[in-house]
Structures are given as structure tokens and as C-alpha cells.
Amino acid sequence: MKGGKNYVFLIAVVLIALNLRPFIAGVGPLTEDIRNTTGLGHHGIALLTLIPMALMGCVAFAGPFLLRLSDARIFIIAALVFITIGTFMRLEVTTGPALLGTAALIGFGVALVQAIFPGIIKQRFPACFASVMGLYSAMLLAGGALGAQISPFIAQLTGIWQIGFGALAPLAIIATLLACLVLPNTVSPQSGTHSLRLFLSRPRTWLLMVAFGLVNGGYSSVIAWLAPYYQEMGWGVTASGSLLAVMALCQAVSAFVLPVLAQRCGADRRPWLWLALTFQLAGFAGFAFAPDAAPFVFVALVGAGLGGCFSLLLVVALEHLPDPLQAGALSAVMQGGGFLLAAISPVLVSGLYEQTGGFSAGWKWHMFVIAIAAILTRRLDPESYSPAMVLFSESVSASEL
């Protein structure tokens, strides 16, 4: 019976995660249609990525507080309702502010899920959480493939880009219903999660935030600008959407496979993180210097690198602390600072575009960022996990909670 419950819970993990990226990934291929209808310019389009990413960051900082509540499942269900409503609202948007509003509503829902769900997963699967986090990350990124491929396809089929955005609303409904049925109550936090202040007092928390932000900045830039980049070279809406879909599928495969392989090869995740960063570097170099040479190879490399880094860093954060609620809270704080940093990237690439007249400078910038992330990764030795978070192995007073 327990195995059957776990199987159903894994289905819920898949369906919930699939709803966390389509609303962002569908924007790039439909950029021209959005501009023509809403009047949004380059910076306005960038805001469709920046606003959700910023919300993911801000809301994630509330993770330690939310994870102290006795029933965090309520927040997951509410978040899925927000995603559903926001997706349906996109069927009717005709103005820039309205579209940005839906991005904020859906982004808020996604932010709640990302802040809370990893802790629930570690609580439910303490012995194999790395593999389940790999599944969660893979399906989250596969949702990006759905948005990148289905939204432009349906938009072209119907001639209405809003229908392309709203087509995935039924998936959110199904995820909401399943979450109501199978998500467990979070354990009573007798072991305690800790305050945001205490997390931010640890240098390791800042290291994780910066590393996570640098990696996901590449994702937010690619989602926002890769399709317009190739459309400037004459690619159509569906073809450029296919590039993003291939990237997202490679992200999903890498996000699942790399943590599983890493778990089988010892406790040190750094070699696998460096491998993923090398994939990214090669892909961004292709975008910058020879975009027409092998675009699907380049997006596959970038996708594999982004997906692997995303999933592995979530696992690394959760491995720093044995208590699932404390580990989940650390993961939420890492995502908080990380997504705030990542939110800047599309606007930065937009600014470089306006200064240089092309996107190549933006891809070169991300090559530099990858080098910084590789240097930071050196410090993620598993032997350093406990010393880096030593305060959390000691009892704290009620005033710190």
C-alpha cells in the first residue's frame, strides 16, 4: 500500500512540475505576435521573464517561514490555483499591462511551489530524495518544452496567440486536483527550521545563491531571446520554438540523469557540475560565434548544461542539512537569491543588444558567467557541508525561530 501511495505521489510530482515553466517558455517564439498586439518593446518582453523570476526569488525567501507551518500543502494547492487562473486569463489579454499581470500571477504561484516542494519531497523520500529531485527537476524543465512547442503550434493553428498561451490550462487543473488528493501534511516542525536571518549569516548560503543565480541567468536569457535571435536570421515561429523545445527536453534528460549518475559515483557533485558547465560553455560559444553551424547541437548542449546544473545544485543544497525542513528551507533561500540574480539576465542581454545591435554580446557575457560559476563550484566539497552549516546542528533558542 505504501508503495502504491508513493507511486501516486510521484505522478503528482510529475504533473505539478510540468506546470512551472510553460508560461515563460512560450513567450520567445511568440514575441512578434505579442509586440504587434500589446505594443510591448524589447524591455517589455524582457519583463515577461524578469517579473516571474523576481517573484520566484522574493517568495522563495519566505520558504523558511512557510516550511514551519503545520500544513504547507495548502500553499501548494493555492499556488496551483493561481497558475490555473493566470493561464486562463491569458486567453483574453490584449494589452501589455494585462499580459504582465498574468506573468506576475502565474509567477507567484510557481514561486510558492518552488519554495516549498523540495522540502516536502525530502520529507517523503529521505533515502532517495536525490533521484526524486532529479525527476522533479526534469519534469519542471520538460514543462518548458511543452510551452516552447505547443504554444506556438496552437497559435499558428488557430491564428490567435492567446489561445497558444491558454492551451495548457487543463494541465494545471489536473495537477491541482491530484495535489488535493495526495499531497501529505508537512511534519510538525519540532526539529525546527530557522529564520531567514540565520540562513543569511552563513557564507555558504550566499555561495549557493550566487552559483544558482549565475546558472539560471543563462536559462532566463535563452528563454527570452534565443527564439528572437534566430527569427532575426529568418527562422519561423514554429521552427524557433522547436529550438527551445529541444533545449528544454535536453534539460529534462540531464536534470534527471546527472543526479542519478552522481549519486552512484560518490558524494562529490563537483565533477558533474563542471561537466554541465562545460556543456553550457560550448553551447553559448556556438550561439556567439557560429550560430548557423549546428543550432540544434548548440541548444542541446546548453540545455544539458542548464538542466544538470539546476538539478545538481538543488540536490547539493538539500544535502547540506539532514533535517528535511531545514534542508528545504536552505533550498528555498538559495532559490530566493538565485532567481533574483537570474531575473537580471534578460534585461542585461537586452541592453547589450541595444548597444551592439545583436545578441552575440549577450551570449559571450554568459560564457564569462559560466567561468565564474565553475570557480565557485570548487568550494562545494561535500566534506565542507557540515562545517559550513554548523549553526544548524546546534539547538537554537525560540527567539531564533
How confident is the model over 87-105, as a mean pLDDT? 92
The pLDDT assigned to 191 comes to 45
Give the pLDDT of residue 64: 65
pLDDT of residue 399: 38
In this model, does residue 397 exceed pLDDT 50? no
Domain ranges of the chain: 9-392
First-to-last alpha carbon distance for the chain, in angstroms, is 36
pLDDT tens readout for residues 45-54: 888 888 888 8
Residue with cell 493561481: 82
Nearest to 118 by CA among 262, 317, 359, 365: 317
The 8-class DSSP code of residue 390 comes to G
| CA pair distance 317, 146, nearest whole angstrom | 28
Give yes or no for residue 282 having a pLDDT over 90.
Answer: yes
- Which residues lie below 8 Å from residue 105, measured CB to CB, with a gap of 6+? 82, 85, 86, 89
Q: How many angstroms separate the CA atoms of 253 and 276, rounded?
A: 12
Task: Give the cell for residue 108.
Answer: 507567484
H helices of 265-343, in order, are 270-289, 295-319, 324-342
pLDDT at 401: 37
Q: What is the mean pLDDT of residues 189-217?
A: 80
Q: How far apart are CA 195 and CA 216, in angstroms?
A: 25
At 54 the pLDDT is: 85
Q: What pLDDT is attached to residue 185?
A: 67
Q: Which residue has the higher pLDDT, 275 or 195?
A: 275
Q: pTM of the predicted model, to two decimals?
A: 0.78
Q: State the pLDDT at residue 109.
A: 94
The per-residue pLDDT for 188 is: 46
Query: Do the Cβ atoms of 247 and 299 come closer than 8 Å?
Result: yes
Cα–Cα distance, 275 to 207 (Å, whole number)? 19
* Confidence label for 71 from pLDDT (cuts 50, 70 and 90): low
DSSP 119: H
The rounded distance, in Å, linking the Cα atoms of 322 and 283 is 36
Q: How far apart are CA 357 and CA 147, in angstroms?
A: 28
pLDDT at 141 > cutoff 70: yes
Residue pair 335/60 in contact (Cβ under 8 Å)? The answer is yes
Cell of 153: 503550434
Q: pLDDT tens digits for 106-116?
A: 999 998 898 88
302 vs 296: CA distance, rounded Å: 10
How confident is the model over 2-18, as pLDDT tens digits?
Answer: 555 678 889 999 999 99
Question: How confident is the model at residue 120, as a pLDDT?
Answer: 80
- Average pLDDT value for the chain: 85
Integer-rounded Cα Rg, in Å, for the chain is: 20
Q: What is the pLDDT of residues 318-374, one digit of tens each?
A: 888 887 777 877 888 898 888 889 888 888 998 899 899 889 999 999 999 999 999
CATH: 1.10.3430.10, 3.20.20.140, 1.20.1250.20, 1.10.1040.10. Which one for 9-392?
A: 1.20.1250.20
For residue 1, pLDDT beyond 80 = no
What percent of the chain shows pLDDT beyond 70?
A: 91
CA 289 from centre of chain: 27
Q: How confident is the model at residue 70 (pLDDT cuts 50, 70, 90)?
A: low
pLDDT at 392: 56
Q: Which residues, other chains included, contact 357 with Cβ-Cβ below 8 Å and sequence gap of 6+?
A: none
Position 302 scores a pLDDT of: 95
The rounded distance, in Å, linking the Cα atoms of 338 and 208 is 8
What digits encode the pLDDT tens for the residues 22-36? 888 788 788 888 888
Per-residue confidence (pLDDT) for residue 68, from 0 to 100: 65
CA 280/CA 274 separation, integer angstroms: 10
